[in-house]
Amino acid sequence: MSVGSYVKQSASSGMITLQADQSDLKAFADFAALVPKAATAAQRRAINKTLRWLRTHIARAVSQQERVAVTAVRQRLRAYPLNGNGQGKLWFGINSIEASRAGRPRQTRAGVSLAGRRYQGAFFKKVYGGQPDIWIRTASKHFKASDYPDSEVSGGGGASSGWISENGSRYPLAKAKISLEDVRPHFESWSKRAHQQLLKVLEQELNFELQKYLRGTDRV
């Protein structure tokens, strides 16, 4: 616990690590030395509660910014409870997300629309896997690569990577996806806000344990 909370990023994800540092715990050092099990329990609860708080707020923020259903964003967030080093972690996968998960697709003669987005010339259909998705033939005059990022490559391919061949036919398809790259700048601010929240909750939890100790009740 020599350093506070921090964030690390990779090409496809971000990992926010929550932990208190020694300077944050100076006011509680005597209590922690007296009843270390109670202090450890307070720290565990504080970190786990803050992870849930952080997951909720990130999901809402990304949902609003990228116009994606909050339930789909939450599936990209994975919390890891307190470990032996006194750290709790929140992983966030930021690979492009299928556009069909942004809301309820509506097929029209002109294409597919959902969540304020329009994919002209596209169609909503099950091509691969168990769920239908939004596709477009890459030969279509309405095809825009920016609307179909990071599609998986398969079979007959196409003129460039990211295109998928429809059952090996001569009509390669691309799946509509939404890039989450724009959420990267928020990682540092989320980490700072989460650390402040952690200190707030930690104080509450330590005070709870202190009151239990002063009342002479069973300790954790």
- pLDDT mean over 18-37: 71
Domain ranges of the chain: 6-95+181-215, 98-178
- pLDDT mean over 136-147: 86
Q: Quote the pLDDT of residue 118.
A: 92
pLDDT digits (tens, 9 = 90+) for 160-202: 334 444 444 456 888 898 988 888 888 888 888 998 999 899 8
Q: What is the mean pLDDT of the chain?
A: 81
**Other Cβ atoms closer than 10 A to 89:** 18
For 33, the token pair is 């030395």
Q: Quote the pLDDT of residue 22.
A: 67
CA angle, residues 127, 108, 128, in degrees to nearest 5: 5
* Cross-strand pairs, 88: 18
Specify the pTM.
0.74
- pLDDT mean over 120-145: 87
| Nearest to 24, CA basis, from 4, 47, 45, 44 | 4
Amino acid at 164: I
